[in-house]
């Protein structure tokens, strides 16, 4: 059996999109039950309750999860409110405990997906399970690792798989906690259209304001669902407080989502057409950049002949002022245009600088 041929019919037991919600971490029985109760009261569109029992934390000596006792709380959430339950497993011991506690869906976290030894250990402990196993993208932007993790699970006869897109870590500060890098997730989706892809806007955004637009964007490109961190008292959460929302806000977010069903509205055709046009424009952008760079090389030769400095602050000001004005005229973000032109200009300077070096 190959990944491409898996049916992954587990997803069809749920309405589309599948929403998984619950706290980043299980903290106490009261927090779990209250969160579950309020989700239940606010929306009927959340069939699966999530909570981290074992928490991978960047630094030691912080809260690292409540451990196995949290599994009892998940059980209560299932019994009292009828949710299916989901948690992260990061080693064979976690898998044994979670299977024993009959957690319905398990996921492999982003820090585990990067490590083939860990994934192999988890896969072997899960051998032959029929429970859906979801694999988060690795923290680094590496599609092969993500797919490799799925293949390790399949290698142990695990055929109910799903993928979670939680964004990718970068050293540079951006508006995201983890940049989405849609291209990687869409490449994944194009290669394995049969593996349900679930977006995790909470870990992509790292805050509460961007969640719904990331979730909507994912649904627009055919994702099967979303996992959204939800806490009865987000500001007091023991982990990921800034990105968690209340059950009531979650319900609003869900009701604002527009579901685009494939084949019904014909949106795929429309999207396909737009994408082709975008690819075409991208191609033209690259062509134009290459022409610009050739002109810049000509300028570099003139500077070299006349012993002029490569970086001319006056010229840089003309370029950025022009770009800012055009950004305004066309209704684009000035910040974006400034960043773009800074990158283009830096490359030009680099090319011209390399021309100034004596030939080896
Ligand atoms: C989580 O879902 O709480 C979590 C730890 O996520 P990730 O593995 O994506 O960092
Ligand atoms: Mn979290």
| Rounded distance between C-alpha atoms, residue 231 and residue 243, angstroms | 10
Instruction: List, for residues 220-258, the tens digit of each pLDDT value.
Output: 888 999 999 999 999 999 999 999 999 999 999 999 998
Ligand nearest to the Cα of 177, by number: 1
- Residue 317: pLDDT band (50, 70, 90) is confident
Does residue 55 sit in helix, strand or coil?
coil
Q: SS3 for 221? A: coil
Residue with the smallest CA separation from ligand 1 atom 2 is 24
Task: Let me know if 253 is exposed, middle or buried by CB neighbors in 10 A (0-12, 13-18, 19+).
Answer: buried
Across 146-173, average pLDDT: 96
Interval 157-164 mean pLDDT: 98
Q: What is the mean pLDDT of residues 147-162?
A: 98
Pocket lining: 109 vs ligand 1, CB cutoff 6 Å: yes
Q: What is the CA radius of gyration of the chain?
A: 24
Of the candidate ranges 60-64, 115-119, 139-143, the one whose mean pLDDT is the lowest: 60-64
Average pLDDT of the segment spanning 202-221: 93
- Kindly state the average pLDDT of the residues 160-176: 92
Are the beta carbons of 215 and 230 closer than 8 angstroms? no
Tell me the ligand closest to 239's alpha carbon.
2
Pairwise CA distance, residues 28 & 42, whole Å: 21
Question: Which of 244, 232, 164 has the alpha carbon at shortest distance from 205?
Answer: 244
Q: Determine whether 358 is exposed, middle or buried from the number of CB atoms within 10 Å of its CB (0-12, 13-18, 19+).
A: exposed
- Give how far Cα 88 sits from Cα of 111, 211, 243, Å: 11, 21, 18
360 has pLDDT over 90: no
Cβ atoms 225, 18 nearer than 8 A: yes
Indicate the SS3 state at residue 48: strand
Cβ count within 10 A of residue 265: 11
Res. 269: pLDDT tops 60: no
Split at pLDDT 50, 70, 90, the class of 263 is very low
DSSP state of 157: T
- Which helix (H) or strand (E) segment is 199 a member of? strand 197-199
pLDDT for 268 beyond 80: no
By most ligand atoms within 8 Å of CB, the mutation choice from 110, 227, 230 for ligand 1 is: 110
Rounded distance, CA 109 to CA 87, Å? 10
Length of the chain: 360
pLDDT at 267: 62
The pLDDT score that the predictor gives to residue 264 is 43
**Average pLDDT score over the chain:** 92
Lowest mean pLDDT: which of 191-200, 265-274, 298-307? 265-274
Which of 17-26, 267-276, 282-291 has the weakest average pLDDT?
Answer: 267-276
Domains of the chain: 3-256 (3.20.20.70), 268-356 (1.20.59.10)
| Residues 72 and 26 sit within 8 Å (Cβ to Cβ) | no
Q: Which atom of ligand 1 is nearest to the CA of 109?
A: 8
- Here the tokens at position 174 are 């951006």
> From the alpha carbon of 111, which atom of ligand 1 is closest?
8
* Best CA proximity match to 204, nearest among 191, 215, 196: 215
Ligand 1 contact, 24 CB (< 6 A) = yes
Q: What is the pLDDT of residues 280-303, one digit of tens each?
A: 577 678 878 988 999 999 999 998
Q: Is the pLDDT of residue 272 over 80?
A: no
Percent of the chain with pLDDT over 90: 68
Helices in 163-266 by DSSP H: which ranges?
182-191, 201-205, 211-220, 247-256
Q: How far, in Å, from the CA of 276 to the mean position of ligand 1?
A: 34
8-state DSSP, 147: H
Centre of ligand 1 from the C-alpha of residue 107, in Å:
9
Q: How far is the CA of 134 from the centre of ligand 1 (A)?
A: 12
Specify the pLDDT at position 196: 97
Which atom of ligand 1 is least distant from the CA of 166?
Answer: 9
Structural tokens at position 254: 């869900």
State in Å: Cα 81 to ligand 1 middle.
Answer: 24
What's residue 315's pLDDT?
83
State the pLDDT at residue 109: 98
Distance 39 CA to ligand 2 centre (A): 18
Q: What is the rounded CA–CA span in Å between residue 108 and residue 95? A: 10
> What does the buried/exposed string (b/e) look like for 269-284 if buried means 16 or more CB atoms within 10 Å of the residue's CB?
eeeeeeeeeeeeeeee
Residue 227 contacts residue 202 (beta carbons within 8 Å): yes
Query: Residue range 18-46: average pLDDT?
Result: 98
Q: Ligand 2 (ion): which residues have CB within 5 A?
A: 24, 240
- Ligand 1 contact, 136 CB (< 6 A): yes
Specify the pLDDT at position 209: 95
- For residue 273, the model assigns a pLDDT of 55
């Amino acid at each position: 059996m190959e990944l491409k041929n898996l049916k992954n019919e587990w997803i069809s037991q749920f309405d589309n999109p599948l929403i998984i919600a619950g706290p980043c971490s299980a903290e106490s029985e009261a927090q779990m039950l209250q969160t579950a109760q309020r989700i239940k009261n606010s929306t009927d569109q959340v069939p699966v309750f999530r909570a981290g029992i074992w928490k991978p934390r960047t630094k030691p000596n912080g809260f690292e999860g409540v451990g196995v006792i949290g599994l009892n709380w998940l059980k209560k959430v299932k019994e009292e409110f009828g949710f299916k339950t989901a948690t992260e497993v990061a080693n064979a011991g976690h898998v044994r405990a979670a299977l024993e506690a009959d957690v319905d869906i398990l996921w492999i976290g982003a820090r585990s997906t990067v490590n083939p030894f860990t994934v192999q250990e988890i896969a072997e402990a899960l051998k032959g399970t029929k429970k859906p196993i979801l694999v988060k993208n690795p923290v680094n932007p590496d599609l092969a690792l993500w797919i490799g993790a799925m293949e390790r699970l399949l290698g142990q006869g695990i055929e109910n798989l799903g993928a979670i897109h939680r964004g990718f870590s970068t050293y540079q500060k951006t508006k995201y906690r983890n940049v989405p890098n849609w291209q990687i997730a869409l490449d994944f989706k194009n290669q394995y259209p049969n593996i349900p892809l679930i977006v995790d806007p909470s870990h992509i955004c790292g805050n509460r304001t961007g969640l719904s637009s990331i979730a909507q964007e994912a649904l627009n490109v055919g994702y099967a669902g979303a996992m959204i961190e939800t806490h009865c008292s987000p500001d007091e959460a023991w982990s990921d407080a800034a990105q968690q929302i209340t059950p009531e806000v979650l319900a609003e977010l869900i009701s604002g989502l527009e579901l685009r069903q494939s084949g019904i509205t014909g949106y795929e055709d429309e999207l396909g057409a737009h994408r082709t046009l975008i690819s075409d424009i991208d191609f033209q952008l690259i062509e134009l950049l290459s022409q610009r760079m050739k002109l810049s090389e000509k300028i570099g030769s003139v500077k070299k002949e006349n012993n002029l400095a490569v970086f001319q602050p006056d010229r840089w000001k003309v370029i950025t002022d022009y770009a800012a004005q055009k950004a305004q005229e066309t209704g684009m973000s000035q910040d974006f245009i400034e960043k773009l032109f800074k990158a283009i200009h830096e490359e030009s300077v680099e090319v011209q600088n390399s021309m100034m070096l004596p030939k080896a």
